[in-house]
């Protein structure tokens, strides 16, 4: 069953946040691995759990889901394969304002898990709004064939440049980032010529900062700049 309206894509910051996985099978294992990759503090509740879950740094409680406990977490994923249990956890969490995802049950979800490709700090997420997880995974794999591991290095270099711009007291918005990416930088990184790539980024950064410093002050038409000792009226 597709969503009634398009979803709103976000990237959640889960580091250190308490998350609950209800279920202990293979599907639950995949959900746990994804949460751990994001740094979440994970608790698994299920009468039985896969051996793979036991080997992970999670809190395992061998019991059935208790009514109301979803409300104690920041995010909940259910994967029991039992609609009554999954829907009960969804109702508890949703009623308490907790985000809940129920595996293979769109009406029991307040968020959808996309198919994700990770390259260092770069994440590419593909979603079909729950219509076809298989298609989302297929598209993710197609993207993976084009987006190589070098984008992780690109992200690092651009992140360093952005930090330098901001450290200089400038905004990183509105700069000609695309000119850098549409130039020789990606090819330099892909070829492993990192010293040349870093030099290219440093040259571009210095040029951008120079342009910002030399740009004349822009004022809105009709505005008057008051001397520092004159305060505007409220």
Convert the pLDDT of each residue in 165-175 to its tens digit.
Answer: 999 998 998 89
CATH class of domain segment(s) 18-113 = alpha beta
Residues 102, 81 contacting (CB under 8 angstroms): no
Res 216: pLDDT: 47
Q: What is the mean pLDDT of the segment spanning 17-41?
A: 97
The rounded mean pLDDT for the chain is 89
Report whether pLDDT(8) > 70. yes
Q: Tokens 């990184």 label which residue? A: 189
Residue 10 has pLDDT above 60, yes or no: yes
Point out the least confidently predicted range of 137-146, 180-189, 213-222: 213-222
Q: How many CB atoms lie within 10 A of CB 225?
A: 8
**For residues 231 and 186, which has the higher predicted lDDT (pLDDT)?**
186
CA 71 to chain centre: 23
pLDDT tens, 76-127? 999 999 999 999 999 999 999 999 999 888 888 999 999 999 999 999 999 9
pLDDT in tens, 119-130: 999 999 999 998
pLDDT, greater one: 224 or 46: 46
**Which of 92, 86, 49, 48 has its CA nearest to residue 69?**
92
CA–CA–CA angle 68, 39, 99 (5° rounding): 35
| Unique residue bearing structure tokens 């993207």 | 143
Q: What is the pLDDT of residue 2?
A: 66
Residue 230, pLDDT above cutoff 50: no
Q: What is the mean pLDDT of residues 190-213?
A: 90
Helix (H) or strand (E) holding 24: none
| Range 225-234 contact pairs with CB under 8 angstroms and sequence separation of 24 or more | none
The model's pTM: 0.79
pLDDT band at residue 213 under the 50/70/90 scheme: low
Report pLDDT for 233: 40
SS3 of 203, please?
helix
Instruction: Give the number of other Cβ atoms within 10 Å of residue 77's Cβ.
Output: 30
């Amino acid at each position: 069953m597709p969503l009634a309206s398009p979803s709103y894509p976000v990237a959640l910051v889960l580091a250190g946040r308490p998350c609950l996985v209800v279920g202990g099978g293979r599907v639950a294992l995949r959900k746990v691995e994804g949460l751990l990759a994001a740094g979440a503090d994970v608790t698994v509740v299920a009468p039985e759990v896969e051996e793979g879950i036991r080997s992970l740094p999670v809190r395992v409680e061998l019991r059935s889901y208790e009514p109301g406990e979803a409300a104690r977490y920041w995010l909940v994923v259910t994967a029991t394969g039992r609609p009554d249990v999954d829907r009960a956890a969804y109702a508890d969490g949703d009623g308490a304002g907790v985000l809940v995802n129920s595996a293979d049950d769109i009406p029991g979800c307040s968020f959808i898990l996309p198919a994700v490709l990770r390259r260092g700090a770069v994440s590419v997420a593909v979603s079909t709004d729950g219509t076809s997880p298989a298609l989302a995974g297929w598209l993710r794999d197609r993207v993976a064939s084009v987006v190589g591991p070098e984008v992780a290095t690109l992200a690092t270099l651009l992140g360093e440049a952005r930090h330098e711009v901001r450290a200089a007291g400038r905004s990183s918005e509105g700069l000609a980032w695309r000119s850098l990416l549409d130039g020789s930088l990606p090819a330099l990184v892909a070829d492993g010529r990192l010293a040349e790539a870093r030099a290219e980024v440093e040259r571009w950064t210095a040029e951008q900062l120079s342009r910002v410093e030399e740009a004349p002050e822009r004022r809105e038409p009709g505005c008057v700049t008051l001397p520092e000792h004159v305060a505007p009226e409220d």
